[in-house]
Structure 1
């Protein structure tokens, strides 16, 4: 389960955030992606301002890592760049070649490198099991040489697993999967497209021989969202049943694929809504909703099955 988005300063390292992590862990979760964002002004800006508000502080990140580990969770640290004017990060981009006087990929990667290496050092110091070096950077995905150079530098300061979270439908377009340890993507696929998309992704996994899981996946508890799970602004009334139907279909399709390692479901906020308000909440978090009960049952079942397999118990 993904926790903490968007990583706003002052919302981590609080009593509410601790309660949120405890509640998430109670749902059978055994891994969490601690996800926070740093801002750049526009999609053509070249400075990632990760030391400034509203990004969480280093102390808050360390608190979240330690709090998650104290609850038995393995941690993927997931620093993400966002655009302050609301443009989706997938549109961050520049000329294919550097032009004097114009913002460039070289300038942007220099600032982004500082952001990611800072996170890598924190992840190493706190024993994070995984680091995600980027998320849904569709235009930047083509910059294979710069990603390879960045990942090589990350490996000099971080000894855990490294992954990159490509966007939906991009799994077979990234050309530098060999540079990471684990392939991940955002699996916001329409409820009737799971088999076709998994067939396509399977070819990528087979070709590269790497583990795969969905770094993001899920569906708002909203009417119509199973057909448009990536559209967080889709009009529609609250519907826990719609979210449950999506979870059931997603789990069933993915369970049938032996190469599928799991999910970092989206998402669990640092400040939870009140339980009595769950039915009226139409966001992604499954807390207090039918999908939450389904998730707890399935994750608990999977953990017990894996424990039995590890201990050699009869099946």
Structure 2
């Protein structure tokens, strides 16, 4: 049985290699109040990024509310359709390919994976609202020749409860958009997502717990990846789809790999070494694998000169030692 699994994995490597896709060396380009200019895009090029995720937003009032509000005058420019279009056009002008990634924000930052309706009427209303939201951006993606469209981000309960809706939505998107599709599943959600065979990439927001050390070494982090990586490679084989990390990243703080998904305002000490080691480990483990298509680092702010810095314990690698690690590995691949 073990020999058979090894042979199947080898066949997957050959199959994925034959697709000859260039590694996605991406950044998650955070929406701003303003238009993006040439100087902001140049900062992406300096780290050898060839992809960027553009992320317009829709807003939901409560965890059980079915109404998505999007593309309004009250939103920041980069969160709207016109803003997303301007970002895409500037990125394309510079040879940077794009994943358009429309996202939902629930008031007060409630986790989107817990979005769940309490009645069939509300589920139907949510489906109608979400379809309107996604189709608007599917048409924008086609209009702008955007290379990749992400059809949802971390919507576990919505996906679990309404599988027929998602199948039908994918067909409708395909009727207007000719590019590639993915979905951004949370790290503990992707094996339960029901429609990978209907889209082109298995998308994972890769906040896997790897180590409980204050400052884990690269070796400790690579050991922490072992079980997750084996599971992902086998899953990629099963579904015959390459994996992309629709988000990956680590905060520059103590215990960064213990619960990498934390977005709170905690006061953990700034730890630049931990962020560097975590970045090195993920590149060394994944970027050389043929079944792995690349990923988008979380996150990259438009105003580079004001972002991050050595006193910042947040996710962005900007103006920190981790930025050089990303640049070196992106240049290599």
TM-score (normalizing by structure 1):
0.87
Distance 2:75 2:27 in 1: 19
Distance 2:148 2:36 in 1: 24
Shift of 1:194: 1.2
Render the CA deviation track for 1:106-131: whole Å, top value 9, x for unaligned.
Answer: 11010010000000111100000010
Q: Which runs of 5+ in 2 are unaligned?
A: 1-25, 211-220
Render the CA deviation track for 1:75-117: whole Å, top value 9, x for unaligned.
Answer: 110000111232111111124x61xxxx522110100100000
More helix as a share of residues: 2
- 1:31 is matched with 51
- 1:3 is matched with 28
Residue from 268, 291, 300 that aligns with 1:259: 291
Structure 2 counterpart SS, 1:238: coil
- 2:13 is matched with none
Point out the more displaced range, 154-163 or 228-237: 228-237
Distance 1:151 1:297 in 2: 37
- 1:154 is matched with 173
Q: Do 1:163 and 1:184's aligned partners in 2 also have CA atoms closer than 8 Å?
A: yes
Q: Do 2:58 and 2:70's aligned partners in 1 also have CA atoms closer than 8 Å?
A: yes
Distance 1:60 1:243 in 2: 31
Residue from 233, 237, 254 that aligns with 1:206: 237
Shift of 1:256: 5.2
Query: Quick one: structure 1 residues 216 and 269, their matched pair in 2 at CA, closer, same or farther if it must change by over 3 Å?
Result: same
Q: Do 2:56 and 2:81's aligned partners in 1 also have CA atoms closer than 8 Å?
A: no
Q: Does 1:171 align with 2:179?
A: no
Moved over 4 A (4+): none
Q: Do 1:163 and 1:182's aligned partners in 2 also have CA atoms closer than 8 Å?
A: yes
Q: Does 1:184 align with 2:203?
A: yes
Query: Quick one: structure 1 residues 30 and 14, their matched pair in 2 at CA, closer, same or farther if it must change by over 3 Å?
Result: closer
- 2:257 is matched with 226
TM-score (normalizing by structure 2):
0.83
- 1:299 is matched with 330
- 1:249 is matched with 281
Query: Quick one: structure 1 residues 236 and 114, their matched pair in 2 at CA, closer, same or farther if it must change by over 3 Å?
Result: same
- CA RMSD, 1 decimal: 1.8
Render the CA deviation track for 1:124-172: whole Å, top value 9, x for unaligned.
Answer: 0000001001000011121211101111110111000011111112121
Residue from 105, 111, 119 that aligns with 1:88: 111
Distance 2:193 2:177 in 1: 23
